[in-house]
Chains A and B, each alone.
Chain A
Amino acid sequence: MSNTTIALLGQPNSGKSTLFNGLTGSRQHVGNWPGKTVEQKEGYFTYGGKKYTVIDLPGTYSLSANSEEEIITREYIASGKADQVCILADASQLERTLFMLADYVGIRTPAILLLNMMDVAEEQGKTIDSRAIAKKLGIPVVPFTAVDTKNYAGLFKALEDGRAAPGILDETGISELYEAVIGEPYRQTLALLPGEGIGAYSSAWLAAKLLEHDAAAMVIVKSAMDAETVSRLADMTKGVRNGSLLTGDCKFRWIGRLLEGSVSEARTGERRMGRFDNVATSRAWGKPMAILLILVGLALSMLIAMPFMMASSYLPMLSAPISEALIGIGISAILVSLLCDAVLTAVSFALMMVSFVFGISLVFGFMEEIGYMARISYVFDNTMSKLGLQGKAIMPFLVSLGCNIGGVTGTRVIESWGQRVTTMALSWVVPCASTWAVVGLIGSLFFGDKALIVVLSMFLVAFLHIYITSKIFGRSLIQPSERTGLIMELPPYHKPRYRNLFKFVFNRMGDVLKRALTIIICVSILFWALSYTPDGHIENSLIYKIGIAIEPVTMVFGLRWQMFMAWLSSAMGKEASLGVLAALFNAQGIWTGISGQGVATAALSGSLLSTISKPEALAFLYAFFFNMPCLMALSSTVQESHSLKWSLRIAAYYLIAALLLAMVAYRVGLLIF
């Protein structure tokens, strides 16, 4: 069966993801672009006995080389790997969204134009003569409604026609406009370039990009031409300062001509701001409303996740009956312990994590889908830009108060990779609900009613931490050019499409679970191996021997070896540390503690108070509070950042920072108490 590859290209909110899901259903695969941290979505479908591969190109506003996404998109289109490119425009905002098409003119990869959101355009009373437009362009033009997945016939027909006779955009119109508007610089640049263009790019396209000072276009030209011509080109284009504005003017004129006589305009006089938007963006109510809605969203996602989380948390209970059965059939004890303790616990952790990620993705996917996230971005832009982040970053921070996994998952709504990863790194500081539980317990045990002061001090330090972390990570992750402020469209509110949303979330969960399982199982096995004792005596575990050996070092940070191990295990899960403390002080099985099967708190309190001093307790609280959130948050970070390297860097940073803070707290504690 022959295979046709089609790539989807469109500005954000043009309906690309909706189309991608509509075409491929669940036959899709999410990965990374080779060597990049940008997500690549690939899917398949068959039509008329022919197989199609669909590539979802990263959402970009144009084909300039200003971001990694744009470069990937452009190189992919020019690489010839796609047989056809589907360019999406939003029929309800036709003129603006046709910019992508105008920017594409001159790239000689066959294309078809989809006028998406025709339902909305019709509601506006707009009629579009797609045949007339197709005639002017020389490529198929399909009026389309991506959410109406039953009516894709027009698109399929265009794809089949395209296979038979590929349509390439006619560039004479735009080239004439460049010449008329830009004049001499354009003409001379064009004359210096090879008449047949370079690769998939025509000389007119390259000339326009050079005049826009597009660095990647310069690289292409350099690779194909002699040094002297290149330097003349560089001189030529340097003289044109605001090239992007000039070519932008040409592109919009070209769009104007294209639409002339083919579009009847929409009714005028519509309100530009709905009543809801007046409140959602208002000075007084915008922020409180955003915070309230995010917190409600957090509560909702916990509610959704709760049944699944409960069910998964009971999984370790199966450990005893299963292990008895296994031992009964003669399997060695160590293998049984590995399976029933380490692997089962890991699976239960991973399932709990996925349930929560599911809830978060659903609720905040909904907010993004209807268009409210863009309003949050707007009202918090000023506040968050102090950290070098964009307004939407407020959401992951608030969600992290419930659970850091949710916070990390929530960063998905942030477009730029650098800002996304920085937001993840910062949201790790935010203490989650479990952190509070442990801090509350240990804090009140040692400091009684003074615990409040301790907590307040940690709060202050947390703000400092966020500030410093934003400087450290922001510097290498966020390009100075990305820091230039926000330019963003506030899309009109959409009716939510639940089917699309559910499909999207479900498709995602498989990947999340797979990755979570691998990471969590590996680390769990490691910890299990450290704490494994054949006879149940702690003195015989590796962790005990290592702990005793390194205590002189850990005491520098004010942590006895038991506290150190408890701290280390809090990197797996915050509650785990309580279990480990109980195990180490009361000599019950350590792993029982980690897998959360009941902690005898009363007994623990007694042994802690009698062995640990106040400065040591303070050190532990600091180390614990500022430690990385948990293994599952790390796993989510790997998932969302698409970069193992950066995730590990962030984790290492947190481990070290927590120890340093503990050391300071310990020294201060020694002075005070």
Chain B
Amino acid sequence: MQKLSAAKKGETGRIVFIDGDTRFLSRIASIGLIIGSVVEVIQNQKGRPLLVYCRDTMIAINRSECEKIMMEVTVNEQYDYRAAGSAQLGKVDAV
């Protein structure tokens, strides 16, 4: 597990933890990033927002926000462009 801000370009992983105020949480969920979402890190340059790819969408996220997001790298997993939710359709498990 590592901070999203520490992820390297090209890494793919699953989001396991997001922290922040109400506004931030609602904003980040509405753009498609929730616990369990699979993201691919496209760019991570010093002093720049991160670029990640999730649900067919390229998303830029500010660095300080990325400090509050934890990601579990799934090194060998091919990027799964479906979200966590739809990857296990029908099954409802507790979070």
Give A contacts to B, CB under 8 Å.
11, 61-62, 64, 66, 92-96, 99, 103, 177, 180-181, 183, 212-214, 242-249, 251-253, 255-257, 259-260, 265-266, 268, 272-273, 281, 283, 374, 377-379, 381-382, 385, 481, 484-492
Are B25 and A245 neighbours in the complex by a CB distance under 8 Å?
Answer: yes
**Smallest CB separation, B71 vs chain A (Å):** 15
Q: Other CB < 8 Å A-B pairs besides A259-B86, A378-B60, A484-B20, 15 of them?
A: A66-B22, A94-B56, A183-B94, A212-B25, A242-B18, A248-B34, A249-B34, A260-B86, A273-B43, A377-B60, A486-B49, A486-B61, A488-B59, A490-B51, A492-B58
Could you list 19 examples of A-B contacts with CB < 8 Å? A62-B29, A66-B27, A93-B56, A95-B56, A96-B57, A99-B32, A181-B94, A183-B94, A243-B25, A244-B29, A246-B95, A249-B85, A251-B29, A273-B58, A379-B48, A481-B23, A487-B28, A487-B65, A492-B58
**Smallest CB separation, A556 vs chain B (Å):** 46
Question: Given B22, B54, B60, B61, which contacts A212 in the complex, CB threshold below 8 Å?
Answer: B22
| Distance A256 CA – B89 CA, assembled complex (angstroms) | 6
| Distance A180 CA – B62 CA, assembled complex (angstroms) | 33
State the interface size on chain B (CB cutoff 8 A).
Answer: 53
Question: Given B45, B57, B92, which contacts A93 in the complex, CB threshold below 8 Å?
Answer: B57
On chain B, the residues within 8 Å of A268 by CB distance are: 79, 81
In the complex with contacts A379-B48, A487-B62, A490-B58, A260-B85 CB distance below 8 A: no
Give B contacts to A, CB under 8 Å.
18-32, 34-37, 40, 42-43, 45, 47-49, 51, 53-65, 79, 81-87, 89-90, 92, 94-95
In the complex with contacts A96-B57, A485-B49, A485-B62, A61-B86 CB distance below 8 A: no
Are B32 and A252 neighbours in the complex by a CB distance under 8 Å?
Answer: yes
Are A252 and B34 neighbours in the complex by a CB distance under 8 Å?
Answer: yes
A-B contact count (CB 8 A): 172
On chain A, the residues within 8 Å of B24 by CB distance are: 484, 487
Question: Given B20, B54, B62, which contacts A486 in the complex, CB threshold below 8 Å?
Answer: B62
| Distance A649 CA – B66 CA, assembled complex (angstroms) | 37
In the complex with contacts A95-B86, A272-B53, A382-B48, A248-B21 CB distance below 8 A: no
| Distance A481 CA – B23 CA, assembled complex (angstroms) | 7
| Distance A99 CA – B86 CA, assembled complex (angstroms) | 13
| Distance A84 CA – B72 CA, assembled complex (angstroms) | 43
On chain A, the residues within 8 Å of B65 by CB distance are: 484-485, 487
On chain B, the residues within 8 Å of A180 by CB distance are: 92, 94
| Distance A248 CA – B84 CA, assembled complex (angstroms) | 12
In the complex with contacts A66-B23, A260-B86, A489-B34 CB distance below 8 A: no
Are A96 and B56 neighbours in the complex by a CB distance under 8 Å?
Answer: yes
Are B89 and A378 neighbours in the complex by a CB distance under 8 Å?
Answer: no
The 10 closest A-B pairs by CB, nearest first: A485-B62, A256-B86, A248-B29, A62-B30, A244-B25, A252-B85, A61-B30, A253-B85, A96-B32, A96-B55
On chain A, the residues within 8 Å of B85 by CB distance are: 249, 252-253, 255-256
| Distance A212 CA – B25 CA, assembled complex (angstroms) | 9
In the complex with contacts A252-B86, A490-B60, A281-B53 CB distance below 8 A: no
On chain B, the residues within 8 Å of A181 by CB distance are: 92, 94-95
Q: Which of A62, A245, A379 has the most CB of B within 10 A?
A: A245
On chain A, the residues within 8 Å of B31 by CB distance are: 61, 96, 487, 489
Question: Given A95, A177, A249, A253, which contacts B55 in the complex, CB threshold below 8 Å?
Answer: A95
On chain B, the residues within 8 Å of A242 by CB distance are: 18-19, 25
**Smallest CB separation, A449 vs chain B (Å):** 40
Are B86 and A283 neighbours in the complex by a CB distance under 8 Å?
Answer: no
**Smallest CB separation, A245 vs chain B (Å):** 5
Are B57 and A489 neighbours in the complex by a CB distance under 8 Å?
Answer: yes
**Smallest CB separation, A22 vs chain B (Å):** 24
On chain B, the residues within 8 Å of A266 by CB distance are: 56, 81
On chain A, the residues within 8 Å of B61 by CB distance are: 485-487
Question: Given B21, B42, B84, which contacts A273 in the complex, CB threshold below 8 Å?
Answer: B42
Q: Which of A99, A248, A486 has the most CB of B within 10 A?
A: A248
In the complex with contacts A95-B32, A96-B55, A265-B26 CB distance below 8 A: no
On chain A, the residues within 8 Å of B27 by CB distance are: 61-62, 66, 487
| Distance A598 CA – B21 CA, assembled complex (angstroms) | 60
In the complex with contacts A64-B30, A93-B57, A490-B59, A260-B90 CB distance below 8 A: yes
| Distance A490 CA – B49 CA, assembled complex (angstroms) | 12
| Distance A11 CA – B31 CA, assembled complex (angstroms) | 9
On chain A, the residues within 8 Å of B18 by CB distance are: 242, 245
| Distance A36 CA – B49 CA, assembled complex (angstroms) | 32
**Smallest CB separation, B42 vs chain A (Å):** 6
Are B58 and A248 neighbours in the complex by a CB distance under 8 Å?
Answer: no
| Distance A251 CA – B86 CA, assembled complex (angstroms) | 11
**Smallest CB separation, B9 vs chain A (Å):** 11
Are A272 and B58 neighbours in the complex by a CB distance under 8 Å?
Answer: yes
Question: Given B30, B47, B81, which contacts A382 in the complex, CB threshold below 8 Å?
Answer: B47
Least CB separation from B61: chain A residue: A487
| Distance A281 CA – B45 CA, assembled complex (angstroms) | 10
On chain B, the residues within 8 Å of A260 by CB distance are: 86, 89-90
**Smallest CB separation, B5 vs chain A (Å):** 11
Are A281 and B51 neighbours in the complex by a CB distance under 8 Å?
Answer: yes
